[in-house]
Structure 1
Amino acid sequence: MISALNRLVDLVEEHLTEEFDVNGLAAALGTTEYHLRRMFSSLAGMPLSEYVRRRRMTVAAADVVRGEDDLLSIAVRHGYGSTEAFGRAFRAVHGAGPGDVRRDGGPLRAQPQLRFRLTVEGSTPMDTRIVDRPAFRLVGHAARVPLIHQGVNPHIQQHITALPQEEHLRLKALGDTEPAGLLQVCDDLDPDGTEGSELTYLHGVAVCRDTPAPDGLDAIEVPAGMWAVFRTAGPYPQALQETWAATATEWFPSNPWRLRPGPAIVAVLERADDFSTASCELWLPVEPT
């Protein structure tokens, strides 16, 4: 995976002024675009699209400062059809428009070329199991919410607390298959993992494929497949979020599995009354590499 990510970075540099085929590269490297994008965003700390934009504007800034060409020529050279579109992208990266930078020589915020390297980590074993599950359904109450990487997501918290206590009990009684108990489900995740991008969050339970969803509940159909299940315990949600991050930095690079499209599921096994600590299982859909 490290070599695949570095080849992706090289491809970005080779095609900075044009679109390039991420899916074709992924296939040539024996992986998928979905997995490649998810691993890039997890390890780089930014979506691939944001890295490309920053690199393009870093290179474009040198053309702007040199002053040898007019701004429209520079905009077209770097893949923009107008000075207005180029100016918006330039300002988003550098904090100033190209005209101001040409006059004043700055400010400039350069994005260095990334290079991924393998570091020795994993001193703490990850409690993981691989599960082969038949098709099942997730039923419960769904909402569209923004993705937040750290801390409690207030939109999810509001969605859950708006449900009456008896509804939580009703949902729990409906569950009849693994993952057991009340579940926190994230579906339709942006492969780039962009902070603020929308996802579908479902508070519900897992039921067998043939179990009908009661009226008033949303349903997500989950096809048969393999799952990597990571057990975590400690301060909530910090321990869970750290484990989720470690799947990208430690587990996937050293195991013959890759992510496949599908919902990410958290099962809360035990928790403190105030939810300050919890033991959880993180279920991620995977397939062999």
Structure 2
Amino acid sequence: MDWLERMNNALDYIEDHLDNEIDYKKLAQTALCSEYHFSRMFSALSGISLSEYIRRRRLTLAAFELQKSDIRIVDLGVKYGYDSADSFSRAFQKTLGLKPSEARNKGIQLKAFPKISFQISIKGDIEMEYRIENLDFELKLIGKGFPVKTSKAFKTIPTLWNTAKKDGFMQKLIDMSWENPKCTLESLLGVCGKEAAITDEEFTYFMGIRYDGNVPSDMESIVISHSTWVVFPNIVEAWKRLYSEWLPTSSYELADFPCIECYYPPKHKPKHELWVPVVSKED
């Protein structure tokens, strides 16, 4: 079963569970994908967040039912996962542009959001540089975590680093780093989701360094124990092309660990790199 078929199987799973609870762990398993990475991959490929896609599909089906049945609006809302008629009506109007009661009128114009499908788009006209790194030790990182809305990550994360530079937190990290170098991850690090999995709407961005000493009272620590990483120069470009271009044609799968953004000192080339945890498809 190839990568494209697995992703479309995940879409089928969503479609089969629109009128009941969607188990996101099973959804990721259907795609044979890391639960950690599935929602981010979905958004990168489709251009819409996973939760928003599910919301649109559910409300589309709800509109169809309003047209062809006399089901009560409150019952319809419960069927598609809403706690009350008011919350259902607000979501319905925000997404489809009219109230549920208005959708019952024959001849009224409705919006429909169809099921999507993933297809291969042949690219590859611009090469992607990467290397494989193997780490034979646990990464103990210290720093601080900050909540980030997934949809605004590319704007929010640079702002977090600018703030850290102004308030002295960045310099504190720099002063503590490079004391006992073990690998090329001896720099400022941004861990994209220190929790078990990135949620669809928000994740915790952990700003820190690799450090083996005692944890300062104003910081926290996390440990990442994974050995094989694929490393790309240019973080922004790597994020844009990782899921749609590199992953489908590689011999690797994404591992269930967070990606790490590595920001190097001045004059270092490249300026920054994206470290992505992977496992070989042959393992």
SS in 2 for 1:262: coil
SS in 2 for 1:227: strand
* 2:198 is equivalent to residue 191 of structure 1: yes
Write the distance in 2 (CA, Å) between the matches of 1:228 and 1:9.
27
Partner of 2:253: 258
Write the distance in 1 (CA, Å) between the matches of 2:280 and 2:37.
12
SS in 1 for 2:56: helix
Write the distance in 1 (CA, Å) between the matches of 2:254 and 2:84.
38
Q: Aligned letter for 2:41?
A: M
Write the distance in 1 (CA, Å) between the matches of 2:169 and 2:26.
48
Partner of 2:205: 200
Write the distance in 2 (CA, Å) between the matches of 1:166 and 1:42.
33
- The alpha carbon displacement at 1:144 in A equals 1.7
Write the distance in 1 (CA, Å) between the matches of 2:91 and 2:83.
12
Partner of 1:84: 86
Long gaps (5+) in structure 1: 233-239
- The alpha carbon displacement at 1:169 in A equals 4.0
Write the distance in 1 (CA, Å) between the matches of 2:265 and 2:27.
43
Partner of 1:181: 187
Q: Aligned letter for 2:225?
A: P
Does the Cα contact within 8 Å between 1:65 and 1:105 map onto a contact in 2?
no
Task: Select the structure that is richer in strand.
Answer: 1
| Bigger shift: residues 165-174 or 52-61 | 165-174
Does the Cα contact within 8 Å between 1:186 and 1:200 map onto a contact in 2?
yes
SS in 1 for 2:86: helix
Write the distance in 2 (CA, Å) between the matches of 1:247 and 1:170.
32
- The alpha carbon displacement at 1:41 in A equals 2.4
Correspondence list, 1:35-114, <5 A: 35-66=37-68, 68-80=70-82, 82-102=84-104, 108-114=110-116
SS in 2 for 1:40: helix
Decide which of 249, 270, 288 is 2:280's aligned counterpart: 288
Partner of 1:237: none
Q: Aligned letter for 1:253?
A: P
CA change 1:61–1:183 in 2 (3 A) is same
Partner of 2:163: 158
C-alpha RMSD of the superposition = 3.0
CA change 1:188–1:87 in 2 (3 A) is farther
Does the Cα contact within 8 Å between 1:42 and 1:193 map onto a contact in 2?
no
Correspondence list, 1:113-132, <5 A: 113-132=115-134
CA change 1:28–1:82 in 2 (3 A) is closer
SS in 2 for 1:157: helix
CA change 1:113–1:176 in 2 (3 A) is same
- The alpha carbon displacement at 1:278 in A equals 6.6
CA change 1:66–1:29 in 2 (3 A) is closer
CA change 1:193–1:258 in 2 (3 A) is farther
- The alpha carbon displacement at 1:118 in A equals 0.7
